[in-house]
Structure 1
Amino acid sequence: MTPAELAAVQAHLRRLLGNERITLSTPKRKNASVELFVGSEFVGTVHRDTEDGEISYSVQIVVLSEDLSQIN
């Protein structure tokens, strides 16, 4: 993703989810997934896809079973 795309997707996710603590981090390795954070907590990845001339971005959120115990 270009820096402009990264900024646009981050701004959209912040508006959509109502959370200004959402940040996207550029991967250190070329062609690796962009990392999605809420504050300092890694929560998933963002992938760019181009199909039939259309560009889309998908978000994959990771929930660890050990994090579920913090709810109770």
Structure 2
Amino acid sequence: MADISAAEAPRLQKALRRLLGSPELTVQLPPRKGMSVEIAVAGEVVGTVYRDEDEGEVSYAINMTVLEEDLPPA
């Protein structure tokens, strides 16, 4: 896994906003190297994103957490 650069973050944010239909989604770079890059919606962190580079091809993996308490009633 490689770090997401400051130049990549806005491009990734734009793509995720379009793909997930959320204009309030933000990609937040960590304050220190080695920490997770976070994805937030309306200021609430909902997951992390990781960059992978294999044979010159770059991909991004998202780990999103949804708490049971945030689900609507059954």
Q: Report TM bin, short chain.
A: 0.7 to 0.9
More helix per residue: 1 or 2? 1
Q: Which runs of 4+ in 1 moved over 3 A?
A: none
Structure 1: state its 5+ residue gaps: none
2:61 corresponds to: 58
CA distance in 1, matches of 2:32, 2:67: 24
| Identity over aligned pairs, percent | 47
Q: Which has the higher contact order (CA 8 A, sep 6+)?
A: 2
Shift of 1:29: 2.2
1:36 aligns with 2:50: no
The residue type paired with residue 24 of structure 2 is: R
Output the aligned Cα RMSD. Answer: 1.1
Task: Choose the corresponding residue for 1:49, options 48, 52, 56.
Answer: 52
TM-score (norm 2): 0.85
Shift of 1:39: 0.5
TM-score (norm 1): 0.88
Question: Aligned pair count?
Answer: 70
The residue type paired with residue 10 of structure 2 is: A
